[in-house]
Amino acid sequence: MTHPTPWHRPMLPRPSAERHRTATVLELFFDLCFVTAVAQTAAAFEHELAAGKLGHGVLGYVLVFFAIWWAWMNFTWFASAYDTDDVPYRLLTLLQIAGALVLAAGASKALEEYDFTVITYGYVVMRLAMVSQWLRAAHSDPERRRTCLRYAVGILVAQIGWVARLWLPDDAGLPSFLVLVVAELAVPAWAERAGQTTWHPHHIAERYGLFTLIVLGESITAATGTVRAALDTEVSLGDIAPLAVGGVLTVFAMWWLYFTQSAAGKLNSLGTALRWGYGHYVVYASAAAVAAGLAVEIAHLTGHAHLDRPVVAAAYTVPVALYVAVLRLLHRGSAKFGALDVIWAAGVLAVLAVTFTPSPVLATGCVMSVLVAAVVTVTHRAGRPAGA
């Protein structure tokens, strides 16, 4: 039996040890809409790389992806502590989704032309909705009112900065962007020191895992479309097959490595939570970049990529290596250096080494498959979780 959505509930904190705390349908809808921005950004990144604009494309991708990841992350941690699922909460969340769609619409222009006007407006809409949510929480949760107000004030000041940045001269664009990024990143650490919010470790771990699934799924979808487009040209199936097989093996291995490790038990302090949350910027950005790297490989095969062969290969292997390296660092915590660290490090180096092989995508898929087999074998023999 379904229950009607309440018009209004006090925004009281949810217990951090609440049983059966899982992602809601609204959170899943939020993620699916956000991945639109991820897809648009990855596609624009691929276009810049194929056009030979390597430095320009990488910098633009790093900057644009920050806006997507940071807005997603802030909502995720807030919802873990204060999801009331009443009408105002739903409306403000839908407003954030609308902002994400505006951001997605401006992603290509921001990345290709460094015109951040549209993306800034979309981002500010999302963040101002979060200010409203934090003010609701401050009103209903006296014990953590100071924390909630710090969040609200910090986010609001940062948004004023983002809007003001649009009127700065072009040569101040990048420095001002970096200053505002530091300000945004500092807000949670500053706010939580006034009293930690009641985020749920298992819920957070699930939310990050689900978004990883969606990003990897988007990579598969983008790669499939690219391969199909290539087959419509004069390229033969035999030429495309190594790229398709290697790409599928790589993404399958990325999925396996992520979910062989348990994160919930390690999210036991503010420090580990910040490291986990911030580190996923690289996890998500590199996962999305893998699809762009594969598209560049296919563009090179069809004669549409204006890059040297090693650079084309690196566009695929470097994101995979970054994904593996950061994933291991996030999961190992303070454990002593051991055999698993050697295996993961060897996997990273092997992925980078295959950059200089004749078929780097297929070789990467094989290396990643061997890495998964080695991790599973060693952890099974040791009788411990894969992330230990």
9 falls within a domain: no
233 and 365 both lie in a single domain: yes
CA separation for the pair 313, 315 (Å, rounded): 5
Same domain, 229 and 126: no
Residue 352 in any domain: the answer is: yes
User: Cα 33–39–45 angle (5° rounding)?
Assistant: 150
pLDDT tens figures, 364-375: 999 999 999 999
Distance CA 59, CA 289 (A): 13
Give the mean model confidence (pLDDT) for residues 169-186.
91
Are residues 294 and 355 part of one domain?
Answer: yes
What pLDDT shows up at residue 333? 64
Handedness of CA 102, 162, 71, 14 (dihedral sign): negative
- Least Cα distance to 365 among 260, 252, 237 occurs for 252
End-of-domain residue from the set 192, 224, 258: 192
Residue 229 has pLDDT above 90, yes or no: no
* 185 shares a domain with 219: no
Give me the sign of the Cα torsion angle 86, 89, 92, 93.
negative
CA distance 12 to 219: 38
User: Is the torsion defined by CA of 168, 170, 171, 173 positive or negative?
Assistant: positive
Q: What is the model's pLDDT at position 1?
A: 44
Claim to verify: residue 147 and residue 209 sit in the same structural domain? no
- pLDDT given at position 384: 58
**pLDDT at position 87 over 70:** yes
Residue at 347 is within a domain: yes
Does 286 map to a domain? yes
> Do 215 and 186 share a structural domain?
no
Q: In this model, does residue 357 exceed pLDDT 90? A: yes
Position 290 scores a pLDDT of 93
pLDDT band at 197 (very low <50, low <70, confident <90, very high): very high
Question: Are 152 and 273 in the same domain?
Answer: no
Contact (Cβ atoms closer than 8 angstroms) between residue 239 and residue 314? no
Q: Are residues 187 and 127 in the same domain?
A: yes
Confidence of residue 219 (pLDDT cuts 50, 70, 90): confident
Span 352-381, mean pLDDT? Answer: 93
Domain assignment present for residue 368? The answer is yes
Q: Residue 167, class by beta-carbon neighbours within 10 Å (0-12 exposed, 13-18 middle, 19+ buried)?
A: exposed
End of a domain among 164, 192, 220?
192
**CA–CA gap between residue 327 and residue 351 (Å, rounded):** 15
How many CB atoms are closer than 10 A to CB 291?
30
For the chain, what percent of residues have pLDDT higher than 70? 95
- pLDDT surpasses 70 at 215: yes
Residue 264, domain extent: 201-382
Residue 51 contacts residue 230 (beta carbons within 8 Å): no
The model's pLDDT over 108-147, given as tens digits with 9 standing for 90+, comes to 888 888 889 999 999 999 999 999 999 999 999 999 999 9
Check whether residue 185 and residue 206 sit in a common domain: no
Structure-block tokens of residue 250: 């790589």
d(CA 388, CA 384): 7
- Tell me which of 133, 158, 192 is where a domain ends: 192
167 DSSP assignment: T
Stretch 288-299: mean pLDDT: 88
Residue 187 has pLDDT above 80, yes or no: yes
**pLDDT at position 220:** 81
Q: Are residues 139 and 241 in the same domain?
A: no
- Which pLDDT value is given to residue 173? 84
Q: Which residue has the tokens 């909502």?
A: 75
Q: How many domains does the chain have?
A: 2
Write down the mean pLDDT value for the chain: 88
| Nearby residues of 214 by Cβ (< 8 Å), 6 or more positions away | 31, 32, 35
Helix segments in 260-354, DSSP class H: 270-301, 309-332, 339-353
Give yes or no: residues 152 and 221 share one domain.
Answer: no
Asked whether residue 376 is domain-assigned, the answer is: yes
Domain with 206 in it: what CATH number?
1.20.1410
Does pLDDT of 201 surpass 60?
Answer: yes
d(CA 371, CA 254): 10
Residues 237 and 363 in one domain: yes
Residue 5 lies in a domain: no
**Tokens coding 373:** 């087999």
Residue type, 9: R
Residue-level pLDDT at 19 = 87
Q: What is the mean pLDDT of residues 372-387?
A: 77
Instruction: Report the distance separating Cα 24 and Cα 18, nearest Å.
Output: 14
On whether residue 62 sits in a domain, the answer given is yes
